[in-house]
Structure 1
Amino acid sequence: LQKACQSQENNRAGLGADKKEWIRTEDILERLEKVSDDRIYRVKDALRLGVPVNSVKKLTNIDPWYLMQIKELVKLENELMKFNIPEDIPEDFFRTLKVHGYSDAQIAWLMRVEEKDVTRQRKKLDIRRTYKMVDTCAAEFEAKTPYFYSTFDTENESIPSDRKKIVVLGSGPNRIGQGIEFDYCCVHGVKAAKEAGYEAIMINCNPETVSTDFDIADKLYFEPIYWEHIEEILELEKPEGVIVQLGGQTALKLAEKIVNAGYNIIGSSFDAMDLAEDRGRFSDLLKNENIPYPRYGVAEDVDEALRIANEVSYPVLVRPSYVLGGQRMRIVINDEELERHVLSIFKHMPDNRVLIDQFLERAKEAEVDAIFDGEELLIMGIMEHIEPAGIHSGDSSAVLPTYSLSEQAIETMKKYTAQLAKALNIKGLINIQFAIKDDHVYVIEANPRASRTTPFIAKAYQVPFLNIATHVMLGSKKIKDFEFEKKLEGYAIKVPVFSFNKFPNVDKQLGPEMKSTGEAIRFIDDLNDPFFRKLDSERSMYLSR
């Protein structure tokens, strides 16, 4: 259960004990009655505050057996709080905590010490994860599938080979903003690593993906994309490097820790990734390259946010840094709205900074996906969004190739893509989003990784772009070593798929925060197609802030 909580990618270090617990009994009891995505955490909070198991059962209808298991965690935490420093924890008890799924971060929080101190003491006591093979044959006969999960048992069944290894980080749980598209990227990346002669090791925690099929990679670790788990696998396998460009924002966010731990990032360096992700550094780069971009500012508090918004002029786009899927992104039009939204961001993401961008009203949006090998740039495709700027790229329908942009705008986008790929020192994939207003091209953002449109372009043109990109990242081949032909007659339309019928009370209006749960591909012969004409005529129908 704790491992599942660490897999959720909601900034939790496990089931509670991680500074995000609720403390007001009335709020907790109210939340227990209503089914919600965080109810399991509120169950733990209630038991921690002494609410009887029977009362929790009445409110939730959860079987008492499960509640007793969670109550057991509360008892362990109370025992742990008797110790002052990690060195005081007896080895047996330390191992018991790890067996019960506690991360070093949780133990550190309960003791009010640094996580690194807990990790250091744990390794000193040689309490490390071992790996067991998943029995894919239901014990009918001996399983030989290299499919592993971690445990704190004494015997390790995952024996590292002598071959050169590459680790591919997956994208974790499928959710709005990050879904099956990145799974496609990981599968093709693993296959390319195998072609290049490496032992390909996949790490992902989602059973509903192709990348976690046991016959895709040479070795699969079914583990959370959470640093403590990843670090132990890297220490065991000692790979040549780690590919983080294929697992969306989940994998990308771990790049700094991977580098600091002394491992290689395959493809674009961590500094290149950070340069693209850090709005301040990226805007300075655009300025130096004479590439236009919307005016912006970065705020650490509400007063600073108000000052920046008035400088760049309303309407402005407000968002936290380092997020995917437009999480908590909103267009605001006055000081009052801005204050409310910025406070909400700081409440839910306390360590984050807030980006405030000038919003280009009635601009068109387009995006370019490309591969750069240090010398040559391969533009995979240029997609034009049907909906105006302001609707998240994952929610807008997009047409490949472009259908209404001028030749001049297209050439400008190609030029800026080449400039940025070189300036960012990209090795592998890059996705750049543009806004086009009155034929002036502005760069909105650059993502130094596979985007959710990369598989769409690969399928539309019938070209294995992700295989090419992985070979480029590994340095095993250059773009000039590949021969391919883009096969697309007419146009391909990326159509977002929404699940509003399953969530009847959700606001159906679209804005900068992503709401679609998937996408489909639709081929048309020309722009007279009734499907395209309907999409085009309704492009602003659901636009909201």
Structure 2
Amino acid sequence: SVDHFLKSVQYHPEASPGPKDAAGFFSEIKEYLTSKNIEAIDTTNLQDFKGLDGINNKVIPYNKILLIGSGPIKIGQASEFDYSGTQACKALKELGVKVVLLNSNPATIMTDPDMAYKTYIEPITKETIKKIICEEKVDAVLSTMGGQTALNICVELEEEEYLQSQGVKLLGANVDTIKKTEDRGLFAKELAGLGYQTGKRFRAKSEEEALKLAGTKVGYPLIIRRDFALGGRGSALVHNQSGFKEIFTTDLKFPITMEKSLLGWKEVELEVMVDQDKNGVIICSIENIDPCGVHTGDSITVAPAQTISDRCYQQLRDISLHVAKHMGVVAGGANVQFAVNPNNENDIVVIEMNPRVSRSSALASKATGYPIAKISALLAVGYTLPEILNDITKASPVAFEPTLDYVALKIPIFPFNKFPSSSQELGPQMRSVGEVLALGSNFNEAFLKALRSLEMGLEIPLLNQLKTTPIDIDIAYIIERLKNPRQLCLLTVLEGLRRGMTIKEIYKLTSITPWFIEQVKEIQVTEEKVSQLKASDIDRESFINLKKLGFSDKYLALLTNCSQNDILKIRFEQDIFPVYKAVDTCSGEFNALTPYFYSTYYEETETEALSKNNRSMAILGSGPNRIGQGIEFDYSCVKSCQHLKNQGIKAIMINSNPETVSTDYDSSDRLYLAALYSEDLFDIFKNENPEGIITSFSGQTGISIREHIEKSFRKNYLTFNFLGSSLETLHLTEDRKAFSDISKEVDLSHTVSREIRGYKNLVNAMIEIGLPVIIRPSFVIGGESMYIFKHHDDINHLPDTLREQLKSSSTVFQVETYLQNATEYDVDLVRDGSGNTAFTVCEHIEHAGVHSGDSGMISPPVALTRALYKKMKEISIDLAKILDVVGPVNFQFAVKDGLIYCIEANPRGSRTLPFLSKAYNISLPQIATDAMIGLTIENWDQEFTDHFCVKQSTFPFDRFVLDNIILGPKMRSTGETMGIDRDKEKAILKSYLGNYPNINTTGKILISMADRSKEVLLPYLKALHKMGYQYCATDGTYHYIKKQGLPCELIAKIEEDSGTTILEILKEENMKMVFNTPMSTGSSKSDGEHIRNSAIQYGIPCFTRPENIEAVMQAILGSHKSDLVPLALQDLH
């Protein structure tokens, strides 16, 4: 044990991150340390460093540890916690600790059975945890890897003194630390005691007190924040009193903290690691490019911080370590967020601190190569920083602070195209669903790489490429975007500069630090110069300088009025290709033994092709998380990587997503953090020359990229071997008409369909086919641009995006009969080259018409007869043979009146592969990998097991409250939960509890249903009443329920002045659920929208489809929470 923080001293004049007095300082500090009998480690003699005490000799006082995950992917808590949890599991297992894992999310690597001693995919509730602790006899609980979910539930357990009563220790962060950092009032008090500013903030316990304080003490504009909140949930920027009153109509839970707004200040955060001996290091600094007022998860960020002085950085560093130590962080990571006055760097406000592995921790880990979660897990069980060896260098302890000789830049991605009615203005409440990370040798290289990585067509950085912006952009629109923060602020800055705006004008509108605007100005000036040239006139040195700035081939082609292939030809002729540099944590001071690379056009390369001495194959990741393409695809990528490694084949992973397990440096033999863009991939493939390339687990990204590379590059330059189904197969399934024609060759029923272009043809097709119809384009994912028309009036209310597409004759749509009340099924099949198959099927809970990514699913199916099951399997195998599928394929079927219809086919890995792999203890991605690399697989059929697995979707409606929450053909979910049980109803209930932990505790249910739903659901309402549930309802439903002899409270409609209102009833503490099936037209329709949106705002589960409501009520009636028994995967299979 030591008495002071361990300090590592390094001198880097190129970045000035430390002391400026050079050699004299180093000799003095070494002499000082020696005189105090403190060992000074000379970094020039560390090749045999094994840790001061030796990590392998440490005695771990814990035999079995419960690790709590974060649950379903949601805004503010996404796949970074799968990365963190996976790292922690690996680290603890290597120490011989038995890890008991709890997480309700089946799409994660951490819930694979081989990751832990026992794996529980169960609801993360106090009851579940208590039962697991009793069953498994765990010694400790690790709370810091599961985000806000794990922290909050551990606080509840500690407050009940349950852990103490069981002799179970809480690791990572104690409850006192959690409360002092998560309770904003306590946090401010503690910081004031240390002499640090936390801003002008006051606590309010009621609406009246809040209004009074806002006007007399805080002042406008102000920010409202809630305690123990996730991703800024419930936070709001309030400009005046009327804006304050609007906030009271939302789910505002008191007490709240009100802070004087720091709009326009710089926001910087530091990642901290502290051990039990109070050694502390800073992993990196991260600077937000958007100023204070935009949630850090929604801001473009850069590491290391670019615009603060060394003196300011040292202040932030000292404060971070002091605060972490004072708050009681004694074993793990934390992050501290600051606001810095741009006019006076000594004016520093501490915004908040997270005493756990966070979203920023994953970003910092990928930006630096420093495995924060792994080290945090080791610190939690008693290691100290000097005892742990740096994985990347194998020559230094992790007590050395990382240094970066590159720029890391993150850009978030938003789902505004899925929620067109919601405001796109950014604020203190997070709304991004994913992010990309790019590394470059300078800011602009990283920035333009990151834009390419978004997969939004921004390889040419034009604002009108965004689906949510108008085609014709004028200066007024740009000024409005600059004044009111929107996504991709720097892209808007670039558009402003192109139109003659000055740096000063833009700074005045945005408060973005001028240095960042100056970097973007360099891009704009370079554009102007290059546009005056022909590509053939650019000399080699100038061409290389353009590539150093990050300009893509396509960007240069546009500026020089030639084709992308022309630019590539010049690069070949002049040998202009990127080099690949290692991410090593130490700016090259030691050799990096971990192969984690990024591209740049500076200096020499630091890697040679794996294929020179080994078989190697490349796997494309799925890019940034977004609705329609999320963590499920990353899961399959990682499993494929692992399988190739086990087969003795070197696995090369390429991805741009910093949140995921696939971009963990030990998930593959070689990792490239790169844009999944044709040019970047072409350069990597040229460098590596892999034996094969797998795109089947990359979602729509892989299909699009493969087609572009095969068509544009293959015939002219190099031949790449893409594995799996052919491009022809992909086209046959993506083109809806072509697939419809092929499906007629098998024993299928068919709906009436027409292929159309334009508005007039749509109207004619609707009349000819007859309503209802569904309209779908080809080559999309996540149900993009899919719509159902049930009434003739719907044609008069077309969404703007569809209206624009119909104006163009280039977009082809398939219009076909919509199968109302049909049961939908997802079939996932793997086929090898010899025709052997593995077959699985899931049954949707909602009827056909809800996107498969949003629908609840159950497997094995419960409504499918054995005969229809057999026929569906035969049809699937026949279709796969006709299509010549090699590898994975997903078929979607609908069954109505005993007839089977095929809705669509996707010859790639689907989002249900992780769920099915957990359900049947079989790795479908690994089987698919075998098929694609030419191995023969065994025929396998899931058959009908003795247990049921149910998947439910998680939605971000609470962040987009103005949008209609009715489910349809356009996917809008961000994540999923899973319930497993031998009893069907219990499995269903567990799946719902993963999203709504209190759904089956008795209380009030607000009901407002269409007439067609009432009779079906009546028996369940009677049974729930006997269990103690109470009902309140709007006029029509109220009279129906009363007529059936059930007590019910009448709720006033929107326009009525008397009676209890919807908002008043939803504020009641015992309000548990809302059942609201939508009306078609009239005032009842607007009442329904008001009820649904209000329920979401107040955080109350709202169910809108009769079949979904029926499933919920069946599950509650068929089981009770006390009867639910957690089941470990290892005991089930």
**How does the TM-score come out when normalised to structure 1?**
0.92
Structure 2 counterpart of 1:542, which letter? T
193, 199, 224: which one pairs with 2:675? 224
> Taking structure 1 as reference, are residues 367 and 79 closer, same or farther at Cα in structure 2, changes over 3 Å only?
same
937, 943, 948: which one pairs with 1:491? 948
Query: Residue 476 of structure 1 aligns with which residue?
Result: 935
Query: Residue 11 of structure 1 aligns with which residue?
Result: 457
**Retained in 1: the 8 A contact 2:665–2:671?**
yes
Query: Residue 973 of structure 2 aligns with which residue?
Result: 516
342, 348, 351: which one pairs with 2:802? 342
> What is the deviation of 1:414?
1.1
> What is the deviation of 1:339?
8.8
Q: After superposition, give the CA deviation of every residue in 1:257-313 in whole Å (9 maximum; x if it has no partner).
A: 343412112121121122111112111101233423333333343344334333333
Query: Residue 197 of structure 1 aligns with which residue?
Result: 648
Q: After superposition, give the CA deviation of every residue in 1:186-245 in whole Å (9 maximum; x if it has no partner).
A: 011112222333221111111111111111111111101100100111111111111111
Are 1:367 and 2:826 an aligned pair? yes
Q: After superposition, give the CA deviation of every residue in 1:136-158 in whole Å (9 maximum; x if it has no partner).
A: 45667432111110001241112
> What is the deviation of 1:396?
0.9
**Retained in 1: the 8 A contact 2:860–2:944?**
no
Find the residue that maps to 2:633 and give its secondary structure.
Answer: helix
Structure 1 counterpart of 2:873, which letter? K
Query: Residue 921 of structure 2 aligns with which residue?
Result: 462
> What is the deviation of 1:524?
2.9
Which piece of structure 1 moves more, 196-205 or 375-384? 375-384
CA distance in structure 2 between the aligned counterparts of 1:283 and 1:268, rounded to whole angstroms: 19
388, 402, 412: which one pairs with 2:861? 402
Q: After superposition, give the CA deviation of every residue in 1:363-417 in whole Å (9 maximum; x if it has no partner).
A: 1111111111144443442111111111111111100111122333322211210
699, 720, 723: which one pairs with 1:266? 723
Are 1:415 and 2:874 an aligned pair? yes
CA distance in structure 1 between the aligned counterparts of 2:814 and 2:500, rounded to whole angstroms: 41
CA distance in structure 2 between the aligned counterparts of 1:50 and 1:426, rounded to whole angstroms: 54
CA distance in structure 2 between the aligned counterparts of 1:192 and 1:508, rounded to whole angstroms: 40
**Retained in 2: the 8 A contact 1:396–1:495?**
yes
Query: Residue 147 of structure 1 aligns with which residue?
Result: 596
> What is the deviation of 1:342?
3.2
CA distance in structure 2 between the aligned counterparts of 1:77 and 1:327, rounded to whole angstroms: 34
> What is the deviation of 1:96?
2.0
> What is the deviation of 1:532?
4.4
Gaps of 5+ in 1: none
**Retained in 1: the 8 A contact 2:609–2:687?**
yes
CA distance in structure 1 between the aligned counterparts of 2:545 and 2:757, rounded to whole angstroms: 40
Give runs of aligned pairs for residues 288-367 of structure 1, distance below 5 A: 288-332=745-789, 333-334=791-792, 335-337=795-797, 342-345=802-805, 352-367=811-826
CA distance in structure 2 between the aligned counterparts of 1:37 and 1:80, rounded to whole angstroms: 28
Query: Residue 51 of structure 1 aligns with which residue?
Result: 501
Aligned residues with identical type, % of pairs = 36
Q: After superposition, give the CA deviation of every residue in 1:38-86 in whole Å (9 maximum; x if it has no partner).
A: 4432222111111222222232222211111111111001101111x31
> Taking structure 1 as reference, are residues 285 and 509 closer, same or farther at Cα in structure 2, changes over 3 Å only?
same
> Taking structure 1 as reference, are residues 164 and 529 closer, same or farther at Cα in structure 2, changes over 3 Å only?
closer
**Retained in 2: the 8 A contact 1:374–1:422?**
no
**Retained in 2: the 8 A contact 1:18–1:105?**
no
CA distance in structure 2 between the aligned counterparts of 1:34 and 1:475, rounded to whole angstroms: 54
Give runs of aligned pairs for residues 19-98 of structure 1, distance below 5 A: 23-83=473-533, 85-98=534-547
> Taking structure 1 as reference, are residues 37 and 299 closer, same or farther at Cα in structure 2, changes over 3 Å only?
farther
280, 290, 299: which one pairs with 2:737? 280
577, 595, 616: which one pairs with 1:165? 616
Structure 1 counterpart of 2:573, which letter? K
What value does the CA root-mean-square deviation take over the aligned residues?
Answer: 2.8
**Retained in 2: the 8 A contact 1:172–1:250?**
yes
Which piece of structure 1 moves more, 495-504 or 372-381? 372-381
Which piece of structure 1 moves more, 377-386 or 15-24? 15-24
> Taking structure 1 as reference, are residues 298 and 423 closer, same or farther at Cα in structure 2, changes over 3 Å only?
same
CA distance in structure 2 between the aligned counterparts of 1:19 and 1:461, rounded to whole angstroms: 43
> Taking structure 1 as reference, are residues 109 and 305 closer, same or farther at Cα in structure 2, changes over 3 Å only?
farther
Are 1:500 and 2:949 an aligned pair? no
Find the residue that maps to 2:967 and give its secondary structure.
Answer: coil
662, 666, 684: which one pairs with 1:215? 666
CA distance in structure 2 between the aligned counterparts of 1:539 and 1:285, rounded to whole angstroms: 41
> Taking structure 1 as reference, are residues 138 and 122 closer, same or farther at Cα in structure 2, changes over 3 Å only?
closer
Query: Residue 443 of structure 1 aligns with which residue?
Result: 902
> Taking structure 1 as reference, are residues 392 and 197 closer, same or farther at Cα in structure 2, changes over 3 Å only?
same
**Retained in 2: the 8 A contact 1:169–1:247?**
yes
CA distance in structure 1 between the aligned counterparts of 2:965 and 2:464, rounded to whole angstroms: 34
> Taking structure 1 as reference, are residues 29 and 294 closer, same or farther at Cα in structure 2, changes over 3 Å only?
farther
**Which has the bigger relative contact order, CA under 8 A and spacing at least 6?**
1
Q: After superposition, give the CA deviation of every residue in 1:437-461 in whole Å (9 maximum; x if it has no partner).
A: 1121100001101100011000111
CA distance in structure 1 between the aligned counterparts of 2:490 and 2:786, rounded to whole angstroms: 27
> Taking structure 1 as reference, are residues 19 and 431 closer, same or farther at Cα in structure 2, changes over 3 Å only?
closer
CA distance in structure 2 between the aligned counterparts of 1:499 and 1:402, rounded to whole angstroms: 28
> Taking structure 1 as reference, are residues 426 and 24 closer, same or farther at Cα in structure 2, changes over 3 Å only?
same
Find the residue that maps to 1:501 and give its secondary structure.
Answer: helix
Structure 2 counterpart of 1:160, which letter? A
**Retained in 2: the 8 A contact 1:380–1:465?**
no
CA distance in structure 2 between the aligned counterparts of 1:138 and 1:533, rounded to whole angstroms: 49
Q: After superposition, give the CA deviation of every residue in 1:97-128 in whole Å (9 maximum; x if it has no partner).
A: 21111111112222332221122123222221
Find the residue that maps to 2:958 and give its secondary structure.
Answer: coil
Gaps of 5+ in 2: 1-446, 993-1015, 1018-1074, 1078-1102, 1107-1133
**Retained in 1: the 8 A contact 2:464–2:473?**
no
> What is the deviation of 1:543?
5.3
CA distance in structure 1 between the aligned counterparts of 2:642 and 2:600, rounded to whole angstroms: 28
**Retained in 1: the 8 A contact 2:952–2:991?**
no
**Retained in 2: the 8 A contact 1:200–1:217?**
yes
CA distance in structure 1 between the aligned counterparts of 2:921 and 2:944, rounded to whole angstroms: 6
Find the residue that maps to 2:814 and give its secondary structure.
Answer: strand
CA distance in structure 1 between the aligned counterparts of 2:785 and 2:680, rounded to whole angstroms: 28
